Amino acid sequence: TFRTIDNIAPDRRLLVRIDVNAAVEDGTVQDSRRFARHAETIQALLADDHAIALLAHQGRPGRDTFVSLEEHAEILTDHLDHRVEFVPDTDGNDALAAIDGLESGDVLLLENTRMCDGELPEEDPDTKAETDLVQTLAPEFDAYVGDAYSAAHRSHASIVGFPRVMDAYAGRVMETEYEANTALRDREFDGTVTMILGGTKAEDAIPIVEQLDDAVDRFCLGGVVGELFLRADDRDVGYDVGGPELFDHQWDEHQETLERVLEAYRDRLYLPTDLAFEDDRGERGETTLEGVSKERPFLDVGSKTAARYADLVAGSEAVFVKGALGVFEDERFARGTVEVLSAIAEADCFSVVGGGDTARAFALYDLDEADFTRVSIAGGAYVRALTGEPLVGVTVLEYDG
Ligand code: 3PG
């Protein structure tokens, strides 16, 4: 059980952790469903006359997506139709001055929490409560609202530290995502259960295959994850699949596990049989696996693979999607993702779509959320919820009662 924002007395000073971690293209932050969903929590808080400071992260240090939250504040302002003031500081003097001036009905967004020393790495909640970030900000507020469900699998200071030292409540996103994703985990199906497993994070994909092997009959692989498994297949069949930096880095880290998982679950893992790339004229080219090379990044599964996955979906009683099959933001490489999502929408099956960014395909390609049982805005946290692993950011908000 946790207390929700309905349990907070009106007109308080609140520190609210949201998750608007988004795709960044050419240095520009892309809007996602996350902004709209958190706007609902903020609206509800404004209706109760609270003064609000928002905390959020973006990207990871060292990555291109690790940027300031200035644009996030503008996007949130649009969604809320209410000014969200950006403060280019998280827990220094400028942040404290801005917080000091907060009045009922004001909304501030503090700078990217991952720019603070204490936010990362993952440590237990009591250790995180000792960080400067928590020690500096906690005394400035009456309560903390945890709304970052999609980052609740991270034991970072802004997620788990504050609830240790102050009153803590679950926001609307936390409440609704938690309830829906937990209910999903408890369902059982008689027919075939298919999982579309793509996206960019091997660390999300590997535990899914290992821990859901009882619940899922077949895994259709794509995205960077699919290419990593193809690479793991290298030894046996001589494919040579390469890709961007993200790919090589993950390959070095996860090679052994990928090879072990592929070996153990080979009969249930469906690998792409063709891939798409950008040809010399800047158009979508396709090749069978014989034609792949390390020099050329692959940006989508090929048409044959997409059609095959769509067929597998059509014969399933339940379909879970985690991550996209290609770089769907670029229309040339959206085919795999869109074809499979459309097949799910048409099929008469129980369907859940998750993945930090995958839900964005709905707006871009006119897919209707109503054709799916549920669309989650969470990626890694959605995976943990499905595999039954507790989310530390949810656990810290819970109390016995
Ligand atoms: C997400 O986008 O899944 C969350 O914001 C967590 O981001 P992270 O994987 O960089 O910790």
Q: Domain boundary at 127, 145, 178, which?
A: 178
Distance between CA atoms of residues 127 and 135, nearest Å: 11
Note whether residue 375 is domain-resident: no
Residues 208 and 161 in one domain: no
Cβ–ligand 1 distance for 268 under 6 Å, the answer no
Report helix, strand or coil for 275: strand
Q: Which residues of 9-42 are buried (b: 16+ CB within 10 A; e: fewer)?
A: eeebbbbbbbbbbbebeeeebebbbbbbbbbbbb
Please check whether residues 159 and 49 belong to one and the same domain: yes
Atom of ligand 1 nearest to the CA of 59: 10
Out of 18, 33, 57, mutate this one to test ligand 1's pocket (max ligand atoms within 8 Å of CB): namely 57
**Which of 19, 30, 322 maximizes ligand 1 atoms within 8 Å of its Cβ, making it the mutation to test the pocket?**
19
Does the model's pTM come out above 0.90? no
119 CB within 6 A, ligand 1: no
Rounded distance from Cα 245 to ligand 1 centre (Å): 18
Domain-located, residue 372: no
Mean pLDDT over all residues of the chain? 92
Asked if the structure places residue 392 within a domain, the reply is: no
Q: Identify the residue whose C-alpha is closest to ligand 1 atom 6.
A: 151
What are the structure tokens assigned to 148, written together? Answer: 């970052």
pLDDT in tens, 50-61: 999 999 999 999
- Residue 342 sits in a domain whose CATH number is 3.40.50.1260
As a whole number of angstroms, the distance between CA 319 and CA 174 comes to 24
Q: Which domain holds residue 220?
A: 189-367
Each residue's pLDDT tens digit, 119-173: 999 999 999 999 999 999 999 999 999 999 999 999 999 999 999 999 999 999 9
For residues 133 and 249, membership in a common domain is answered with no
40 and 69: one domain?
yes
Choice from 30, 150, 249, 360 to test ligand 1 binding pocket (greatest atom count within 8 A of CB): 150
**Would 214 be classed as within a structural domain?**
yes
One domain, residues 167 and 195: no
Q: Which residue has the tokens 């821990």?
A: 211
Check if 113 has its Cβ closer than 6 Å to any atom of ligand 1: no
ipTM confidence:
0.98
Q: Do residues 203 and 160 both lie within one domain?
A: no
Q: How many domains does the chain have?
A: 2
State if residue 19 touches ligand 1 by the CB under 6 angstroms criterion.
Answer: yes
Distance of alpha carbon 182 from alpha carbon 150, whole angstroms: 14
- Cβ pair 242, 296 in contact under 8 A: yes
245 lies in the same domain as 174: no
Q: How many CA atoms lie within 13 A of 369 on its CB side?
A: 11
133, 151, 178: which is the final residue of a domain?
A: 178
- The H or E element containing residue 28 is strand 28-29
User: Which pLDDT does position 144 carry in this prediction?
Assistant: 98
Query: What percent of the chain is predicted at pLDDT more than 90?
Result: 72
Q: List the chain pLDDT tens, one digit each, 401 residues.
A: 889 999 999 999 999 999 999 989 888 998 888 999 999 999 999 999 999 999 999 999 998 899 999 999 999 999 999 999 999 999 999 999 999 999 999 999 999 999 999 999 999 999 999 999 999 999 999 999 999 999 999 999 999 999 999 999 999 999 999 988 877 777 888 999 999 999 988 888 888 899 888 889 999 999 989 999 999 997 445 566 666 667 788 888 999 999 999 999 999 999 999 999 999 999 999 999 888 877 778 899 999 999 999 999 999 999 999 999 999 999 999 999 999 999 999 998 999 898 767 878 888 899 998 999 988 889 888 888 888 888 999 999 997 65
Residue 297 covered by a domain: yes
Q: Kindly state whether residue 387 falls inside one of the protein's structural domains.
A: no
Q: Is the shortest distance between the CB of 150 and ligand 1 below 6 Å?
A: yes
pLDDT for residue 335: 97
Ligand 1 pocket check for 380: Cβ under 6 Å? yes
